[in-house]
A and B are shown apart, each in its own frame.
Chain A
Amino acid sequence: MGKKVGVFVCHCGTNISATVDVEKVAEEAKKKYPGVSYATTYKYMCSDPGQKLLRDKIKEEGLTGVVVAACSPKMHERTFRNAAVKTGLNPYQVEVSNIREQCSWVHQDKAVGTEKSIDLVRMMTEKTRKDTSLDAIKVPVTKRALVIGGGIAGIQAALDIADGGNEVILVEKDASIGGHMAQLSETFPTLDCSQCILTPRMVEVAQHENIKLYTWSQVESVGGYIGNFDVKIRKKARAVDLDLCTGCSSCWQVCPSKKIKSEFDTELGNRTAIYIPFPQAIPSKPVIDKEHCLLYRDARKKNIPPEDSKVCRKCYDVCPIAPVKAIDYAQEDEIVEVKVGAIVVATGYKELPNNVYGEYGKGKYQDVITGLQFERLASASGPTEGEIRRPSDGKEPEIIVFIQCVGSRDPAKGCSYCSKTCCMYTAKHAMLYKHKVHHGHAFVFYIDIRCAGKNYEEFSLRAIEEEGATYLRGRVSRIYKKGEKLIVLGADTLTGSQVEIEADMVVLASAMKAQDDAEVVARTLSIQYDKDRFFSELHPKLRPVESSNAGIFLAGACQGPKDIPETVAQASGAAAKVMALLSSDELEREPVVAKVDRLPPPVFSTCIGCFYCQRVCPYGAIEQEDIKARDGSVIKTVARVNEGLCQGCGLCAATCRSKSVELAGFSDEQVYAEINSVEFN
């Protein structure tokens, strides 16, 4: 029958009792609130003895509902619910009234605080009287993970998870895995060659029996929920059959279309239309760039299927594979459907292009390049084989200027944040430059030097002290061209003087930005992103690798600018989370889910099947169900909630005009009771 509610008012040391008369709150509750059969106060409810008190009283007093008036439910709701479970009381019969954050800490006047607390406790008591017992929802776990993005973050996460004995599907949108790290020359703070440490890991991915790699592919859609995601992957047609191709290189050697700017070489070098992005690419099998390929261009112009075009076909002819050639112009996109239990997002970043800065030439001066372009110049496998040469005329720059914080920390250009890696890689660049151009001189314009990290400070000091780079504190206001020189106008704020440098080359330490398609990816995955479009972690301190969508984790620069060591650490962290998740056969979920009512005939349900709820549900959790007569004819079609998918937002409940769908834990009765008991003293 009626519920027996126990009220436990916490002193929280003096955090609550200093400004709230806790005894009075308990007394009032017992005296005046219907249903309250027991009320007391305690010094620290969350402490072991506090929890014991709760358990003992539930048993002794036969309580069927509990209100703990204490700190925010975000702190200890779970603590108190777990304590109750040990006595056999359903955890959802326990509610927390927030009289600390909402009352004792924000109102000094004890009389006011006490009155408000009395009110707050009453509201929660009324809600508790309408609480119903709810059972955790159990869902099975698919023991397979999806990793999106094959940069160092994705590679690390995939290897860790696969080494742990789980299947991994790695999806990379480019033709090869490797990401930005593959483009780097040498890496701070140790100056080891980036490709030398990366490519063995790439090979490991390719050979790992637990990893299935999809390159030139994208995640098309993600449905389902933690433990049970349904993923559709689009394998874009690469015009090459990966099973047949051996990567013999014949085709890209004969391709006549040779003057295409290489994305991998940051447009400083060229590639063919059928190509692998770089020699150590994984897989080392080519893809046809259909925009530039002569055959596809011809087919588009004539509006015929590509396989009918007679233009070129050189790659096909040269392909040695028989009887069926590995080149297949007619190949079409393929959709692969997979089930996974967890997802790691590792889609990385994009470098701010150098054409956004009017004062730095808007990209029209060839010798004003970005950091990544410098990496390619300095890379032994790059377009200049590691020699630092000006893109315009191939000359060695004798005076080089590095500008830090280009785009970063500059709200006017859209990034208010610090890109974190630029101070370090600029120091690295200055060093590499000195190693390669002994007689040259490097200037660095900076705003601050931020080199926090193991051996980082030492590294950057080396650039100044040992390599003799001139660091100038100030912004560069303008760059313009004079003859063959670039005139760099800047300020040296430490001496208060204007500086003018006649440079041969300028390197912009451009901001690390979120990928262009970050919003699309976020929407596909139903995860949140921040104002800069980096994906949001669930908690900035305590849950740094979890996204806002349970079962989806974040790794690397897609979550915010970071360097390789940090990226790898986060990737391993995400992998650990994934493995913990995949180690259980079943998951328990909070039963805060919606339910559409079902009634005896002739009504069956008050739902009338307008399906507004279905349209607003962000998780596609609402399905249609036919209610059938004995002869199989449909009496009515109504809504039904898939508990596995429902995340408990309550949108459906608020949208349903007839209130035929309710959210457990926030049922109509509960909310009504809460509103109805607002009285104010």
Chain B
Amino acid sequence: MIEALRKKAEELLKNKTVSVVFGYGEGSTPERTRPVFITKPEEVNKLTWNKYCVYNLTTYLKRQETRKLGKPAIVVKGCDARTLIVLMKESQIKREDVYILGVSCDGVGDPLAEKCKACDVHTPRIYDDLIGEKGENKELPFDERYAELDEYENLSEKEKWEFWQKQFEKCIKCYACSNICPLCFCDRCIVEKNQPQWIDPSAHARGNLSWNVTRAYHLAGRCINCEECQRVCPVDIPLNLLNKKLAKEAEKNFNYRPGYNIDDELAMSTYNEKDNQDFVR
């Protein structure tokens, strides 16, 4: 696979289809990889592919520095590819402005990442080239995909509150979560708006709750569950539980999965006259 990947990258750079390849390169230790941005065909050997390619390279599509490099080819796993679909729907990239190097993936991380346990996009749902075998993507049942939440949903109200307070209290408002998130692409995040200052920028419990809830809500119907925010959070807040909860509600209520079908209307920009309203008096 690595060979095929390198060959393809070389070809794309040589015939100038793209001017840069966003990919995974070897890290300082074998258990690590790092992002590489390859602009010269002779450097394609820096590219690698293994189970340590955990993170989502699509975040570099929002960065000025990497945008400057010109049209990219980007290495994506099935989950990462879903980000691309959301980004396209949200007018952040045009289909023709990115070359998608999909890799078929059996799961990453050691131990296996949480996101991979209920993965049903082993083969990306969108790509220009597929590196590796094309497999059947068997759609997993709803319950299975959200099983991780059961434990937390079953807590009592008080336990929930206490659990999350303990988590949110830790937040140091470093904004690593929103910085890494490929879908937190706002030029000015809501926390940076100071007239008025909706969210208190200092790290104390009140502002932290508002921040974490707002960030999660802003990803409702959009987050594709790459778990990057949680991975980078320096104080280990299980942000993905919030994201997943919202994904679950969006799927349950609107029958919508972000980045799954490019033709689906974005869940939070549309409505159905028959949407659930059991809770409305």
State yes or no: do A and B touch (Cβ within 8 Å). Answer: yes
Residues of B with C-beta under 8 A to A657: 186, 190, 218
Scoring B185, B188, B189, B195 by chain A CB atoms within 10 A of each residue's CB, the highest score goes to B188
Q: Are B188 and A660 in contact (CB under 8 A)?
A: yes
Q: Are B269 and A612 in contact (CB under 8 A)?
A: yes
Q: Nearest B residue to A637 by beta-carbon distance?
A: B91
In the bound assembly, the distance between CA atoms of A612 and B271 in angstroms comes to 13
Q: Are B187 and A672 in contact (CB under 8 A)?
A: no
Shortest 5 CB-CB contacts between residues of A and residues of B: A615-B269, A672-B196, A658-B186, A606-B188, A610-B90
Secondary structure at the A interface, as helix, strand, loop or mixed, is loop
Q: A610-B90, A612-B90, A657-B218 are in contact. Are A669 and B196 (CB under 8 A)?
A: yes
Q: Are A669 and B187 in contact (CB under 8 A)?
A: no
Residues of A with C-beta under 8 A to B269: 612, 615-616, 655
In the bound assembly, the distance between CA atoms of A609 and B90 in angstroms comes to 8
In the bound assembly, the distance between CA atoms of A607 and B193 in angstroms comes to 12
Secondary structure at the B interface, as helix, strand, loop or mixed, is loop
In the bound assembly, the distance between CA atoms of A655 and B270 in angstroms comes to 11
Counting CB contacts under 8 A, is B198 at the interface?
yes
In the bound assembly, the distance between CA atoms of A672 and B266 in angstroms comes to 28
Residues of B with C-beta under 8 A to A669: 195-196
Residues of A with C-beta under 8 A to B185: 608, 610
Residues of B with C-beta under 8 A to A615: 265-266, 269-270
In the bound assembly, the distance between CA atoms of A672 and B185 in angstroms comes to 25
Number of interface residues of B (CB under 8 A): 19
Interface string of B238-281 (1 = CB under 8 A from A): 00000000000000000000000000011011100000000000
Residues of B with C-beta under 8 A to A616: 269-270
Residues of B with C-beta under 8 A to A612: 90, 266, 268-269
Least CB distance from A489 to B in Å reads 41
Residues of A with C-beta under 8 A to B187: 603, 605-608, 658
In the bound assembly, the distance between CA atoms of A616 and B221 in angstroms comes to 15
Q: Measuring CB to CB, which residues of chain B are less than 8 angstroms from any residue of chain A?
A: 90-92, 185-190, 193, 195-196, 198, 218, 265-266, 268-270
Residues of A with C-beta under 8 A to B266: 612, 615
Q: Are B188 and A658 in contact (CB under 8 A)?
A: yes
In the bound assembly, the distance between CA atoms of A605 and B198 in angstroms comes to 19
Counting CB contacts under 8 A, is A668 at the interface?
yes
Instruction: Offer 16 A-B interface pairs, CB within 8 angstroms, sorted by A.
Output: A606-B187, A607-B187, A608-B186, A610-B185, A612-B269, A615-B270, A637-B91, A658-B193, A659-B190, A659-B193, A668-B196, A669-B196, A672-B196, A672-B198, A673-B196, A676-B196
Least CB distance from A503 to B in Å reads 44
Residues of B with C-beta under 8 A to A668: 193, 195-196, 198
Q: Are A611 and B198 in contact (CB under 8 A)?
A: no
**Which residues of A, 563-613, contact B by the 8 Å Cβ criterion?**
603, 605-612
Least CB distance from A522 to B in Å reads 13
Q: Are A609 and B186 in contact (CB under 8 A)?
A: no
Least CB distance from B240 to A in Å reads 19
Q: A615-B270, A616-B269 are in contact. Are A610 and B193 (CB under 8 A)?
A: no
Residues of B with C-beta under 8 A to A676: 196
Interface string of A645-674 (1 = CB under 8 A from B): 000000000010111100000001100110
In the bound assembly, the distance between CA atoms of A676 and B196 in angstroms comes to 11
Residues of B with C-beta under 8 A to A606: 186-188, 193
Least CB distance from A466 to B in Å reads 52
